Amino acid sequence: MRFVDQIRVHAKAGDGGSGCCSFRREKFIPRGGPDGGDGGRGGNIVLEANADTDTLVAFFFEPLIRSGRGGHGTGKDKHGRSAQPNVVKVPVGTIIRRAGATPRDPVEDEPIVDLSVAGQRFLLCKGGDGGKGNTHFKSSTNRVPRQHTKGYEGEEGWFLMELRTIADIGLVGYPNAGKSTLLGALSSARPKAAPYPFTTLHPSVGVVELEGYRRVTIADIPGLIEGAHENRGLGHEFLRHIVRCRTLFFVLDMAGSEGRSPIEDYQTLRKELRLYDPLLAKKPACIIANKMDVPEAHENLKAFKTRFPKLKILPISAEGGEGLQGVRDYAAKKLFAPKVVPEVIVTD
């Protein structure tokens, strides 16, 4: 099974309960008026971005979302019970699009919601209103109304859920550039490992503690190779993961080990990203010049700076623990604007 970061689901909110047709029956009131209560509302389906969930795998096994129907109205003007909403937890960073009823149907380009902040809620399908009891149909000309209405149907639809947020910082680089070493050196905690049987591409995420109790997440996303944009290797899997990292840190082997050239490496990395999604090329990014403990690295860094004078370059030795404070400071500066909570479209 693959890392589930995209899944089509069908959601249907509860139908409303029916209104009731009933008349008062009491001692000494032989022909009482109508007293049929209204039906209750069907339960809404509400999505909630949840920070403790990091996969859509639950929907892989159960791609149907439902909520309860409203109770029917009863006599003595008793209204049916409204059903509780079904609040469905999805990972922070889940994007919802309208889809068709079969996998071949097109998916709408424009998302209907991006659940990007923990706690954010979105009303996906509204429960149906309850029907009206016969009390509502009483009039001067109709004292014995038998009309009552059925409950309305709950909204339903097919949706595509897509998970795109991985971390604040995505480490992008060729194998052996030092991404894993850097992640280990920077991060104090690892969020609980998600139980994906598919591990080769599963991004490894760490938490970096910054001054003032601020924290950012950083992801080591292995697997970028040349031709990734053509889906070579597991290219698209990889690229989809980095789309929603807020910033990218390109990790380069500045020592040029194994005959690599940092300049070429950087150009190829950028090219792969651009060919996959031009937006990726516009993402805020900086260069981590790693392995600066190796003497040759200094020459290479000089050449690199001459070639790319405008790039922000942070020289480090991930293994030797040099320059890591510079990386933290840069992360704090770039990422630690207070998070704006996007307007919640509908809350229940």
Which residues contribute to the site for ligand GDP (CB under 6 A)?
Answer: 173, 175-181, 290-291, 293-294, 317-320
Q: Are 48 and 73 in contact (CB under 8 A)?
A: no
What is the amino acid identity at position 52?
D
Name which of Mg ion, ligand GDP, none residue 318 binds, using a CB cut-off of 5 to 8 Å depending on partner kind. ligand GDP
Q: Provide the token pair at 303.
A: 């050449």
Name which of ligand GDP, Mg ion, none residue 206 binds, using a CB cut-off of 5 to 8 Å depending on partner kind. none
- What 3 state SS string does the chain have? CCCCCEEEEEEECCCCCCCCCCECCECCECCCCECCCCCCCCCCEEEEEECCCCCCHHHHHCCEEECCCCCCCECCCECCCCCCCEEEEEECCEEEEEECCCCCCCCCCCCCEEECCCCCEEEEECCCCCCCCHHHHCCCCCCCCCCCCCCCCCCEEEEEEEECCCCCEEEECCCCCCHHHHHHHHCCECCCCCCCCCCCCCCEEEEEEEHHHEEEEEEECCCCCCCHHHCCCCHHHHHHHHHCCCEEEEEEECCCHHHCCHHHHHHHHHHHHHHHCHHHHHCCEEEEEECCCCCHHHHHHHHHHHHCCCCCEEECECCCCECHHHHHHHHHHHHCCCCCCCCCCCCC
Q: In terms of CB distance, is 13 or 186 closer to ligand GDP?
A: 186
Q: In terms of CB distance, is 24 or 270 closer to ligand GDP?
A: 270
Binding mask 66-105 for Mg ion (x = CB under 5 A): ----------------------------------------
Q: In terms of CB distance, is 132 or 179 closer to ligand GDP?
A: 179
Q: In terms of CB distance, is 18 or 181 closer to ligand GDP?
A: 181
* Range in contact with Mg ion (rule: CB under 5 A) among 145-153, 177-185, 190-198, 291-299: 177-185
Q: Is 223 in the site for Mg ion (CB under 5 A)?
A: no
Residue 156 CB: number of other CB atoms within 10 A? 15
Residue holding tokens 């009491």?
26
Name which of Mg ion, ligand GDP, none residue 227 binds, using a CB cut-off of 5 to 8 Å depending on partner kind. none
Taking the complex as a whole, the smallest distance from the CB of residue 206 to ligand GDP amounts, in Å, to: 12
Taking the complex as a whole, the smallest distance from the CB of residue 222 to Mg ion amounts, in Å, to: 5
Taking the complex as a whole, the smallest distance from the CB of residue 254 to ligand GDP amounts, in Å, to: 9
Residues 6+ apart with CB under 8 A from 205: 166, 167, 190, 191, 217, 218, 219, 220
* Range in contact with Mg ion (rule: CB under 5 A) among 7-15, 180-188, 248-256, 263-271: 180-188
Name which of Mg ion, ligand GDP, none residue 202 binds, using a CB cut-off of 5 to 8 Å depending on partner kind. none
Taking the complex as a whole, the smallest distance from the CB of residue 183 to ligand GDP amounts, in Å, to: 8
Instruction: Single out the residue of 180, 257, 261, 268 in contact with Mg ion (rule: CB under 5 A).
Output: 180
Q: In terms of CB distance, is 161 or 251 closer to ligand GDP?
A: 251
Q: In terms of CB distance, is 59 or 174 closer to ligand GDP?
A: 174
Q: Is 268 in the site for Mg ion (CB under 5 A)?
A: no
Closest residue to Mg ion, based on beta-carbon distance: 180
Name which of Mg ion, ligand GDP, none residue 44 binds, using a CB cut-off of 5 to 8 Å depending on partner kind. none
Q: In terms of CB distance, is 74 or 180 closer to Mg ion?
A: 180
Q: In terms of CB distance, is 147 or 180 closer to ligand GDP?
A: 180
User: How many amino acids of this chain bind Mg ion (CB under 5 A)?
Assistant: 1
Interface residues toward Mg ion, by CB under 5 A: 180
